[in-house]
Structure 1
Amino acid sequence: MFEAMRFYIRWVERTNKIVGTITMYGIFAMLFVLGWSIAAKSLALPALWTLDISQFLMVSYFLLGGGYSLQQDGHVRMDLLWGTLPPRKQSWVDTLTVFCMIFYIIILLYGGLGSTMYSIEYGERGFSAWRPLMWPIKVTMCVGITLMLLQAFAMLFRDILRISGRETTA
């Protein structure tokens, strides 16, 4: 069982690292789109698509990078008491609190999947003048949420291994 946990941790963290690293470069796409918007406005050429695309890129950037952020321990933690605990007791606290995160992510994924299915079924479009299809960003959101859920379970497994004295480094 512990070997299966180690395999899962390695697989999920490798996947999140690849996706997170690729997503990191999305900032350049956002800069390009926003730069294009500024240039178009200064030349009095309306660019109807720039607001929607920049919003889609920002959502993708945050959600696809979420699992990587969790992996790198880049999330917000109130460590007033947690930081003073030894590593094994920190793992006990994390094991208890990760269930709240998993519950929240599952609810988020459930809502996202329902919204995505609706968007695909009815060909939902945005409300702007450009009217882009909404299903591609909703699928991207569900992928990002799924990666965060997988990483949350990897964090749980890592804490279980640490508590049991079988800590893994990968």
Structure 2
Amino acid sequence: MTPEREHRIRRITHWLDMPAMIVGKVAAWLILPMIVALVWEVVARFGFNRPTAWAYDVTYMLYGAMFMLGAAWALGRDSHVRADFLFNVLPPRWQGAIDALFIVCLFFPAMYFFTVATWEYAAKSWMRGERIPTSPMMPIIYPLKTVMPVTGILLMIQGVSELIKSLYNIATNRRFRDGEGGLA
């Protein structure tokens, strides 16, 4: 592979990685209001015997959003769980072939169906002005449900980047991330 072609591939994957990196880094900051809400609840409940009606809802919504919005970033950083003890003994070409096969046959179809299903789920929630009936505060839930199709879209974009990286591994028999690849 020529240096120019490799540079072009790395530039393409860099741009494909950008949405996941930006959203993932912004979503990571959701930990701060989540911690504030948890500490507030603990102090109010155990320090003053005055539990809040809102802290539980806020913490699980923030955690859910943080977890979902960070998924594509984790995929781009190769941080997801896999059986590395088997995978890492294979040459990079075989690693790329296995990754490419799974991305095309499993990942893309699953993310497509997930995105379509959650898009409809979120749209219905917005139309109904849905609230959580099991909570005493009955907070709105449609913003959290909107995070699901956004996550699907981010994962599909990141999947394209991961497929390109896998094809690079196949073509060069070198791991893409051994160079300058991967998310910052």
Q: Could you state the TM-score of these two structures normalised by the residue count of structure 1?
A: 0.88
Match in the other structure for 1:28: 32
Paired residues of 1:66 and 1:144 also in contact (CA < 8 A): yes
How far apart, in 2, do the equivalents of 1:140 and 1:81 lie? 34
The reply on whether 1:65 has 2:57 as its aligned counterpart is no
| Helix, strand or coil at the partner of 2:139 | coil
Gaps spanning 5+ residues in structure 1: where? none
- Which residue of 108, 112, 130 corresponds with 2:114? 108
Structure 1 residues 99-131: Cα deviation after superposition (integer angstroms, max 9, x where no partner):
212222222212211110110111111121111
CA shift, 1:133, in A, is: 1.2
RMSD of the TM alignment (CA)?
A: 2.1
Mapped to 2, the partners of 1:47 and 1:40 lie a distance apart of: 7
* Aligned equivalent of 2:164, options 154, 157, 170: 157
Confirm or deny: 8 A CA contact 1:60 1:144 kept in the other structure.
no
The residue number in structure 1 matching 2:143 is: 136
Q: Which runs of 4+ in 1 moved over 3 A?
A: 2-8, 165-170
- Report the Cα offset of residue 30 of structure 1: 1.4
Once the two structures are superposed, residues 66-118 of structure 1 have per-residue CA deviations (whole angstroms, 9 ceiling, x without a partner) of 01100111101123432111111110011011121222222221221111011
Deviation for aligned residue 1:19: 1.7
Q: Which residue of 2 aligns with 1:124?
A: 130
Q: Distance in 2 between matches of 1:36 and 1:66?
A: 28
Whichever residue aligns with residue 149 of structure 1, its letter is M
- Equivalent residue number for residue 11 of structure 1: 15
TM-score relative to the length of structure 2: 0.82
